[in-house]
Structure formats: structure tokens, C-alpha cells
Structure 1
Amino acid sequence: MRALLQIDSWGAPFAAAGVTAPERAIATHGDVRATVRLASVTKPVTALAVMIAAEEGVLDLDEPAGPPGATVRHLLAHASGLPFEGERPIAPVGQRRIYSNEGFRVVGEHLAYRAEMAFPTYVREAICRPLGLVLDPRGHPGAGMHAGLDDVLAIGRELLRPTLVAPETLAEMTRTSFPGLGGVLPDFGRFDPLDWGLGVELKGSKEPHWTGSLTSPATFGHFGGSGTFLWVDPARDVACAALTTRDFGPWAKEAWPALSDAVLSELAVVRAGPGAS
């Protein structure tokens, strides 16, 4: 896939990118096993672990967690009132979409308490082992995991065709939680509403968007400050990921949508078959 060659011009010390269908990877470029910090691409992995725990009865999404009045669901949907960092709420529960690393730290601690095991151990047992991942789940549950492209694409496939949770559970994770809340998408500005699922941002009608102009409104995913992203487009039946060691900045706001649009354009020609233009 020629579109993936774009990453060579990103000026990153390391870059790898790939595209996957539900069954297998379609194409990759770069070292697929080299491990980098996922930054906030950690959040969908943590959220998936919580959804597994909810199915197992380890916890309930609507049980209290975090600030008074907040639940696990509020924490995963950035609706708990907690700030980006810091333990003191800066808004009432359920009133604003405040992007919060702190909320995911609390989620990780809550899951560990309810599961009676360390958070990284739960992630290894619930996700890494059954999917055959070498992903390292240690570190901050909102920003500290490390993995290679192969593993991130495997997470993408899981979010297209779940094997660890029921389709209904994935649907709950990827639909808007607490509709109507406005907020700021980090580095992209304010949106009203700012739709968010449980651990994943929902594209919806946002324009412009870091996933490009050709991804469907059903697209969901996350990007990270270390220059990483994963998006999943269930309407196109495809997921795309890129890992870099170049911190997020203006370059990414231009490069990521261009890559995503090129990937989908090229994939559309391939899927159309011989003679397509």
C-alpha cells in the first residue's frame, strides 16, 4: 500500500503504520515489532479491559468510582469532572466533557481493587494472553502502555470483530456516553457536543478531524501525545494505526488526515477490483 510510505516524510526518528481488516493485516510499513510508548492510545486498551471486567461481573459500569456521584462510566467517558491531572474535580459530575488522564488512573486503581490483582496483571490475563500480544501494560492506565504496531493492529481487529467481549458490549463502548456534553478535544479545540464513548473518541460530525475526511461518522479511536494513533471505521470494516517517536504537534494535524484519506482511497480502488480507477 503506497499510502503508508507517507510516514517516511514525517521526520520521526521512528515510524511504523499499518492497515487491517477484521481477519488480518492488509499492509504495514516500518518495523511492526519495535515497541514505543502508546501515550493516550493506552486508553482504549484500558477501556477494553474494563468492559471485559464488566462482562465477567468483576465490576459494574454504573457503580461508584472517583469523585462523589461519579461512576466507572463517567470516568471512562471523561464526564467525571476530574481535570487532566489532579485529584480535585473542576466541574460537577456529568456536566462537561473534560479530558482526564486522572480519570483513567482512578479507573485502573478501581479495576485492580475489584479484581483483587494488579492492573497490569489483569490486562495481561484478559487481553494480552488471549490475543497473543506482547504489549506491556505497566505504567499509567491512561498513557503508560508500550507496544509495537503488530499489537496495536491486533487491538484494532478486536474492536472490529470482538472475541473478548460480546458485540453488544463493544456497541456500548463505542456509542456516545452522556450525549450532549461539550468539551475540548486536546489540541483540536472545542466541540459542542464532544461525543465520546467509553475510552474512545467518536468522530461523529466533527470537521476537520484527525482521522481525515473519508472515514465515516461511525469511526472511533484515539491518538497519543507521543505521535501515535489508532482509528477503527466499522462502516469501512478497517482499522488504521501509526506509531512514532515524534511528539504530537502541528505536523500530525496535517500528516494524519492525509495518511488516513490516502489509505481509504487506495483501499477503495483495491476493493473495487481490476479496472477500477
Structure 2
Amino acid sequence: MQSLGLMEGWPVPAAAGAVVRSNGELAGVFGDTGRRFALASVTKPLTAYAVLVAYEEGALELDGPAGPAGATVRHLLAHTSGLAFDEHKVMAEPGTRRLYSNAGFEVLADHVAEATEMPFEEYLRQAVLEPLGMAGTALVGGGSAAKDGVSTVEDLVRFAAEVQAPRLLDPRTVAEAITVQYPGTKGVLPGYGHQSPNDWGLGFEIRDAKSPHWTGSTSSPRTFGHFGQAGTFLWVDPEARWADGRGTGAACVALADRAFGPWAVQAWPQLTDAVLAEL
């Protein structure tokens, strides 16, 4: 895809990307797709997928207690547990505010580890990474399940294909994960300010009508995904139309080694709109 060539002009030391259609077909690639990049918060969707596998295996319940008093696994996945951003400190009653929380995902990982009697890093590997052939993906040094993942474009393409056509999870579970949880909840989208509402699913941010946003002006409201402060993003747009008329739905992965900032605010929507136009 010529649109991915826009990444060549990004003010970053290195970048790589790819687009994969909903049928798993690779539509285009850019850069060294086998190079490992730090994911930052793009780690969260991987963690969330492992949590959902644990749910389907019966190790935990989405509405079972986890984290602060009154909070559940669902609250933690949807950033409504009330936990602070990077501290295990309660800032609000569960379900009342969208407080984006790394701490919440660390609590989730501990909850899965206890429920499965297995270190979370190992559970993630066995439940998600190994079945999808994501050999280049891991939590660095057993780090935070919220932000310490590393991966490659090749691996994240596999994950993006899985999310669009689930094999590890029941499609109904994935449909729930990309459905707004606790509708109408206000909150701050890191890097973009206050959003009302600030819609999230279970581990995936949902675009809806958010403005400003890191996806494109032509992205559908159903677009979901995540971006990371390391200069990384993954989005899935179920309504992306293919010019050849063979279907709809596509995902885009972009990894870079420069921290999120004004360059990304400008470059990411431009790339997204160009990809959607070319599809």
C-alpha cells in the first residue's frame, strides 16, 4: 500500500507498519516488520485478551470481584474501577468515572495469576501469544501487564487478524469486548484531554464521536484499538470498505521508537485517513 509510505516521512529513528483485512489477508507492509519495539500501552489489549481467555476457561467471572471494594474484572478492563493512573490508590467509586489506569491492569494480571495458579507472563504466553504464533512478543523482564510489552509488526498483525475473526475466543466474547461498557462515563483520554463520554470496551478504546482523536477523520465510530506512549498504535475499523468490493473491515498496526507527542498527533490521523482511502 502506497499510503504506508507516509511512515517514511515520520520524524522517528525507525518505524514499521502493516494493514491486515478482516479475512486475514495482508494488504501492505512498511519497514522492518520483524523488529521488536516497545509497545507501552498497546500491551493492554494483549493483557485484556488473556483475561478474556481466563474468563472463557472458567477461571474468573467478568462481574466477579477484583481490585478495590465494589469493583469487578469488568470495571478493571473498562477503566472504571476507581483506581488511579499509576498508583494502587482509589480515586472514585467503581463505575462512576473513566479513570485510565495502569494500576488497574496490574491488578488484573495479579487476579489472573491467582485464579490460574500461574504467573501472568506465562499465562499470557500460553493463552494468547503461543497459539497465535507471536514468538517475538513478551512482557519485558516480567514487567507491567499494562505497559511493558515488546512486539513486532508481524506479531501484532496476527493479533489484529485474531480480533477480527476470533479463534481463541468465542466471537460473542470479542463482540462484548468492543461494545461500550458503562455508557456515558466521562474521563480523560491520555494525550487528548477530557472526553464526554469517554467510551471504552473491555481493554479496547472505542472511537465513537471522540474529538480530538488519534485515529482519522474518516474512521468509523465503531473503530477500536489502543495507542501507546512509545509511539505505537493498533486500530481495527470494522466498517473500512475495500475498493475491490470483496468485503469490509481492516486493521492497521504502526510501531515507532519515538515517544508519543505532537508529531504523532499530526502523523497518525493522516496515515489512518490515507490507509482508509486506499483500501
Cα shift at 1:102:
0.3
Where does residue 194 of structure 1 map in the other structure? 198
Would you say 1:223 and 2:227 are equivalent positions? Answer: yes
Q: C-alpha separation between the residues in 1 aligned to 2:256 and 2:180?
A: 29
Letter in 2 for 1:257: P
Secondary structure at the residue paired with 1:234?
strand
Secondary structure at the residue paired with 2:148?
coil
Would you say 1:162 and 2:163 are equivalent positions? Answer: no
Where does residue 183 of structure 2 map in the other structure? 179
Secondary structure at the residue paired with 2:263?
helix
Secondary structure at the residue paired with 1:131?
coil
Would you say 1:205 and 2:217 are equivalent positions? Answer: no
Q: Answer 1 or 2: which has greater strand percent.
A: 2
Q: C-alpha separation between the residues in 2 aligned to 1:211 and 1:163?
A: 26
Where does residue 270 of structure 1 map in the other structure? none
Q: C-alpha separation between the residues in 2 aligned to 1:85 and 1:209?
A: 23
Secondary structure at the residue paired with 2:42?
helix
Where does residue 245 of structure 2 map in the other structure? none
Q: TM-score w.r.t. structure 1 length?
A: 0.95
Q: C-alpha separation between the residues in 1 aligned to 2:68 and 2:130?
A: 33
Where does residue 272 of structure 1 map in the other structure? none
Where does residue 150 of structure 1 map in the other structure? 154
Secondary structure at the residue paired with 2:146?
coil
Secondary structure at the residue paired with 1:17?
strand
Would you say 1:17 and 2:17 are equivalent positions? Answer: yes
Cα shift at 1:189:
1.1
The aligned runs of 1:238-253 (5 Å cut-off) are 238-253=250-265
Runs of 4+ deviating beyond 3 Å: none
Secondary structure at the residue paired with 1:68?
coil
Cα shift at 1:122:
0.6
Where does residue 274 of structure 1 map in the other structure? none
Q: Give yes or no for contact 2:56–2:169 (8 Å, CA) kept in 1.
A: yes
Moved more, 5-14 or 100-109: 5-14
Secondary structure at the residue paired with 1:222?
strand
Q: C-alpha separation between the residues in 2 aligned to 1:4 and 1:76?
A: 31
Q: C-alpha separation between the residues in 2 aligned to 1:262 and 1:62?
A: 40
Cα shift at 1:24:
2.4
Cα shift at 1:71:
0.5
Where does residue 91 of structure 1 map in the other structure? 92
Q: Percent identity?
A: 49
Cα shift at 1:208:
3.0
Where does residue 53 of structure 1 map in the other structure? 54
Q: C-alpha separation between the residues in 1 aligned to 2:180 and 2:90?
A: 22
Q: C-alpha separation between the residues in 2 aligned to 1:100 and 1:195?
A: 14
Where does residue 136 of structure 1 map in the other structure? 138
Cα shift at 1:207:
2.4
Where does residue 69 of structure 1 map in the other structure? 70
Secondary structure at the residue paired with 2:41?
helix
Q: C-alpha separation between the residues in 2 aligned to 1:216 and 1:87?
A: 35
User: Residues 32-74 of structure 1: CA distance to partner in whole angstroms, max 9, x if unpaired?
Assistant: 0100110000000000111111011011111111100001110
1:139 to 1:24, Cα distance in 2 relative to 1, 3 A: farther
User: Residues 74-121 of structure 1: CA distance to partner in whole angstroms, max 9, x if unpaired?
Assistant: 011000110101111111111100000000000001001101101011
Q: C-alpha separation between the residues in 2 aligned to 1:198 and 1:52?
A: 13
| Number of residue pairs aligned between Structure 1 and Structure 2 | 267
Where does residue 266 of structure 1 map in the other structure? 278
Cα shift at 1:5:
1.0
- Please provide the CA RMSD for this pair: 0.8
Secondary structure at the residue paired with 1:120?
helix
User: Residues 105-158 of structure 1: CA distance to partner in whole angstroms, max 9, x if unpaired?
Assistant: 000010011011010111111111111111113421110111000111111111
Q: C-alpha separation between the residues in 2 aligned to 1:219 and 1:188?
A: 17
Q: Give yes or no for contact 2:11–2:263 (8 Å, CA) kept in 1.
A: no
Letter in 1 for 2:113: A
User: Residues 178-209 of structure 1: CA distance to partner in whole angstroms, max 9, x if unpaired?
Assistant: 11110000010111111100111000111232
Letter in 1 for 2:200: W
Cα shift at 1:234:
1.2
Where does residue 113 of structure 1 map in the other structure? 114
Letter in 2 for 1:120: E
